């Protein structure tokens, strides 16, 4: 797929030869994917080196050079096109789509960008979406050669073989946790106030059971294991399995599914949950995206954790967009809990918070050869019923409605190794502040590992 326009010539040659060069590129698509566009005359040396590396088949080196050029201030349609083609060669289809989407508002590049979006969608296993891009190209381009190629691609897709039906991710990491907890939701369940080293393994897989990637039933499964060096009572094991119906509606993707999950702590069951999950996302021009999600979960606590029995609902919305080569996301989540809560003699502790959270993230594609991600969150919680606390004489039973606020941030860096592996490092910090001092805590985690996408 990666068609690219030949070496840039003089302005006169560029004007007269553009259609011919694009036609040659288009014809080559059925045999050899794209070649990169020659950097502009005033482009950086890094961009020129990227073109050379691409033509030599060294796509990792080409990507580094193109990202260096972007970091040095070169921000042209040619460069974004080259980045899209390089990402495609490296099978990094979301990044390729982002680059081509950024070109669609430009009338000079829109048709070619949509054609390449169609090729990317086809390779990513979304034939219906690819056909829509090819149809848009055929309808809007003034170039007869590109129109003919779009028509041919559209017709070929009708008889295309099915897309790959399964995918998986595995990872292995080790790290340090400054405050081992009984659950990721430490504010509700509790913390140890003890630090320890750990190793963690994760595996997740999806499989298309029926239909197609455009409209079909998908099975999901995942497993996570964490083992501490000394605090074995906090060793974690969790699993999740479910079935969802996925569908693409042009620019809109929807998913509705049911899932079953179980979590164990130190070998004992913490909780089991059954959930319904509905999601929708819509692609915008210039690489933007809107997402919405609703989750309903019924929880059954394990022995000693019966107070977690009950229901949980979450509603979230977020927006994503690109800015100066970075991918930015921001969103809001509302959470409502109705749990059994904990009654111990004359004391009562609520485990049913109502929460409001704001979150944001930014992803940078090249920071000294790494992809870097930063994320932040601020969350406020108010618990449904007042806690009843026995303060002893002379105060007696105190009635206090618990209110918490939690803030945190995280940093992650990824570096590609030989396919399909990459190296990652992740750091996070969270602090919870409550009007009841016993629920104040902070937690830091640092981990590093390897991950493979299969």
For the stretch 427-447, pLDDT in tens is 999 999 999 888 888 999 999
The Cβ-side half-sphere exposure at 426, using a 13 Å CA radius, reads 17
Instruction: Judge whether residue 313 has pLDDT over 70.
Output: yes
Distance in angstroms (rounded) separating the CA atoms of residues 10 and 320: 38
Q: Where are the alpha helices (DSSP H) in 214-253?
A: none
Distance in angstroms (rounded) separating the CA atoms of residues 187 and 177: 16
Q: Which domains does the chain have, with CATH numbers?
A: 11-158 (1.25.40.10), 166-453 (2.40.160.40)
Name beta bridge partners: 383.
353
The predicted structure's pLDDT at residue 10: 35
Question: Cβ neighbours of residue 120 under 8 Å, at least 6 residues apart?
Answer: 1, 84, 88, 93, 96, 97, 100, 130
| pLDDT above 70 as % of the chain | 85
Helix (H) or strand (E) holding 174: strand 166-177
pLDDT tens-digit series, residues 98-154: 888 888 888 888 888 888 998 998 888 888 788 888 888 888 887 888 888 888 888
pLDDT band at 395 (very low <50, low <70, confident <90, very high): confident
pTM of the complete model: 0.67
| Mean pLDDT, the chain, integer | 83
Q: Residue 16 to residues 8, 39, 109, 149, 413: CA-CA distances in angstroms?
A: 12, 18, 16, 20, 45
Instruction: Judge whether residue 388 has pLDDT over 80.
Output: yes
Quick check: 275 and 244 in contact, CB under 8 A? no
Distance in angstroms (rounded) separating the CA atoms of residues 172 and 199: 8
Distance in angstroms (rounded) separating the CA atoms of residues 280 and 240: 21
The predicted structure's pLDDT at residue 295: 97
Quick check: 437 and 389 in contact, CB under 8 A? no
**Is the pLDDT higher at 33 or at 380?**
380
Enter the tokens of residue 345. Answer: 């003699």
């Amino acid at each position: 797929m990666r068609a690219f326009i030949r070496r840039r010539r003089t302005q006169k040659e560029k004007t007269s030869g553009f259609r011919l060069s694009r036609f040659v590129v288009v014809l080559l698509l059925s045999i050899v994917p794209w070649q990169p566009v020659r950097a502009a005359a005033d482009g950086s040396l890094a961009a020129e080196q990227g073109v050379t590396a691409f033509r030599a088949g060294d796509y990792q080196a080409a990507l580094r050079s193109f990202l260096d050029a972007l970091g040095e201030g070169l921000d042209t349609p040619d460069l974004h096109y080259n980045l899209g083609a390089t990402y495609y060669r490296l099978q990094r289809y979301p990044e390729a789509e982002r680059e081509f989407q950024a070109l669609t508002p430009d009338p000079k590049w829109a048709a070619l960008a949509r054609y390449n979006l169609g090729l990317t969608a086809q390779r990513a296993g979304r034939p219906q979406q690819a056909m829509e891009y090819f149809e848009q190209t055929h309808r809007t381009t003034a170039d007869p050669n590109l129109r003919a190629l779009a028509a041919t691609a559209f017709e070929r897709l009708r008889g295309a073989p099915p897309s790959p039906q399964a995918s998986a991710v595995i990872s292995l990491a080790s790290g340090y946790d400054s405050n081992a907890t009984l659950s990721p939701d430490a504010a509700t369940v509790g913390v140890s106030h003890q630090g320890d080293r750990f190793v963690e393994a994760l595996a997740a897989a999806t499989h298309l059971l029926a239909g197609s990637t455009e409209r079909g039933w998908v099975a999901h499964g995942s497993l996570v294991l964490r083992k501490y060096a000394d605090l074995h009572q906090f060793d974690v094991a969790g699993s999740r399995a479910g079935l969802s119906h996925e569908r693409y509606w042009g620019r809109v993707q929807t998913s509705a599914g049911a899932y079953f999950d179980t979590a164990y702590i130190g070998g004992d069951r913490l909780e089991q949950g059954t959930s319904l999950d509905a999601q929708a996302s819509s692609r915008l021009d210039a690489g933007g995206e809107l997402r919405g999600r609703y989750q309903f979960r019924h929880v059954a606590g394990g022995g000693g954790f019966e107070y977690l029995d009950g229901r949980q609902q979450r509603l979230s919305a977020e927006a994503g967009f690109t800015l100066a080569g970075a991918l930015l996301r921001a969103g809001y989540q509302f959470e409502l809990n109705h749990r059994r809560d904990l009654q111990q003699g004359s004391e009562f502790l609520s485990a049913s918070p109502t929460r409001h959270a704001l979150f944001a993230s930014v992803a940078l594609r090249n920071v000294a050869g790494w992809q870097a991600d930063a994320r932040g969150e601020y969350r406020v919680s108010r618990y449904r019923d007042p806690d009843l606390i026995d303060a002893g004489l002379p105060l007696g039973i105190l009635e206090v409605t618990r209110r918490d606020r939690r803030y945190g941030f995280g940093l992650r860096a990824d570096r590609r190794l030989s396919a399909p592996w990459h190296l990652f490092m992740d750091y996070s910090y969270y602090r919870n502040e409550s009007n009841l001092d016993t629920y104040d805590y902070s937690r830091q985690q640092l981990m590093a590992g390897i991950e493979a996408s299969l």
